[in-house]
């Protein structure tokens, strides 16, 4: 039996309505707004992205998604209705977010956050698991 792909026309409004009805729209919108606000703050704080960083992020993305060849990436982009520019924007934003988080971490200092019981317990659990792994070797 042969697989036949049926083309279906969709309007963006239909997708948005579906996401709203299923409760997925608000979290997605929140995530996009947070990414935009943070990327803007990162740029204003002086964080720049090098071609090397972008290439490394693209290589990692392709590896994580099993896109070994350029043709695999092009096919994946087409199947997902994306452009190279959209993927680059996504990767650039990820780089900016990570850089900004590092900058915030250095500025804030960890001691303030280590006082929170949930953080303290998480760190204790990680320390214990490391110890246990080495004890069981």
Q: Pick 90 or 123 by higher pLDDT.
A: 90
Please give the Cα distance from 113 to 98 (Å, whole number): 19
Tokens of 101: 């988080």
pLDDT tens-digit series, residues 28-75: 999 999 999 999 999 999 999 999 999 999 999 999 999 999 999 999
pLDDT tens-digit series, residues 65-109: 999 999 999 999 999 999 999 999 999 999 999 999 989 888 877
DSSP secondary structure letters along 102-132: HHHHHHH-SHHHHTSHHHHHHHHHHHHHHHH
User: What pTM does this model have?
Assistant: 0.75
Q: What is the pLDDT of residue 2?
A: 59
* Placement of tokens 């943070």 in the chain: 38
**Domain chopping of the chain, boundaries:** 12-108
Q: What is the pLDDT of residue 1?
A: 53
CA 35 from chain centre, in angstroms, equals: 9
Inform me whether the pLDDT recorded for 3 exceeds 70: no
Q: What is the pLDDT of residue 129?
A: 87
Q: What is the pLDDT of residue 135?
A: 84
């Amino acid at each position: 039996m042969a697989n036949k792909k049926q083309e279906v026309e969709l309007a963006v409004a239909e997708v948005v309505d579906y996401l709203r009805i299923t409760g997925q729209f608000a979290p997605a919108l929140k995530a996009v707004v947070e990414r935009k606000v943070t990327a803007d703050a990162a740029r204003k704080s002086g964080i720049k992205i090098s071609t090397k960083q972008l290439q490394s992020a693209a290589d990692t993305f392709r590896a994580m998604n099993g896109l070994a060849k350029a043709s695999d990436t092009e096919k994946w982009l087409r199947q997902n209705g994306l452009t190279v520019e959209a993927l680059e924007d996504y990767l650039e934003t990820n780089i900016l977010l990570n850089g900004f988080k590092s900058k915030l971490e250095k500025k804030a200092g960890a001691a303030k956050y280590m006082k929170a019981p949930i953080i303290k317990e998480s760190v204790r659990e990680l320390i214990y698991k490391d110890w246990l792994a080495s004890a069981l070797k």
